[in-house]
Amino acid sequence: MTNKILVTGASGNIGAPLVRELQAISADFVVLRSKPSTATSLETRVADFGNVTALTQAFKGIDTLFLLFPLVENKVELATNAAAAAKAAGVKHIVRSSGAGADSSSDFALPKLQGTIDDILAATDIPTTFLRPGSFMQNYVTYQSQAIKDGSIYMADGGKTQALIDTRDIAAVAARILANPAPHAGKAYTLTGGEDFTGAQAAAAISAALGKSVQHLSVPTEAAVATMNQWGLPPFIVNVMDSLNKIVSAGYASGVSPDVENILGRKPRTFGAFVNENVGAWK
């Protein structure tokens, strides 16, 4: 039985390691790009989430679709297009990278947005699996590198814990499901790391690896909003990030899920191991 896979977001924090995972198991897959590129040896199909006709053509012959949408203001519109294209093209299964706590009735902007998109995909009647990861360990490299170099990490986390996940574990889970999607139809998995820890504990681990003091400073969510506005971030992004900060500060992001270990048959990667691998990014 054939299982042709298409991966969206193939160059990102989740998509890039997902490509490596699929290559490791010799999966039959292609990647979607918005523009043609000669800088890759991967089999590529070209379409933009804003063009339903092009998406439908790109999805033809695809059995299993990995959907990861960019965090943009018209994300619901893009998801609606992808859902229509998947249905028209005869896609047999969707694996959707969503977010922890996704719920279209949520009072918080980010989980409400993620839940709304999940509902759109569920309404296609295409068997779908929802991956709902928490915050990423990689954020300490992507967004906090300069702050760590300067010796102080400012976070609107209320001193609460999170079970951060390495995006490579999200990719490993996605690859496992993409390779054999049927048992996971209609299921939603909350993906976390295996340790619940505070920002102060994370800073201590980074300090130990660097051999210098890096302090964690918890700031009010209102101060974080003011800073983001000063940086000139779009109101949509400010609203989404503020909702995430409020979720963490309220303690709603605390807790370890067993789903990664249950699916992979191994423990999630630890934050300590992540720090040791990435210490060069903070020097």
- How much of the chain, in percent, has pLDDT values that exceed 90? 96
Mean pLDDT for the stretch of residues 271-276 = 98
As assigned by CATH, the class of the 5-135+166-191+255-269 domain is: alpha beta
Mean pLDDT of the chain: 97
**pLDDT tens digits, 58-116:** 999 999 999 999 999 999 999 999 999 999 999 999 999 999 999 999 999 999 999 99
**pLDDT tens digits, 195-238:** 999 999 999 999 999 999 999 999 999 999 999 999 999 999 99
Q: What is the pLDDT of residue 37?
A: 75
Q: What is the pTM of this model?
A: 0.96
Domain ranges of the chain: 5-135+166-191+255-269
Q: Give dist(CA 260, CA 256) in Å, integer.
A: 10
The set of long-range contacts for 111-115, using a CB threshold of 8 Å and a minimum separation of 24, is 111/243, 111/247, 113/75, 113/76, 113/240
Question: Sorting pLDDT into bands at 50, 70 and 90, what band is 36?
Answer: confident
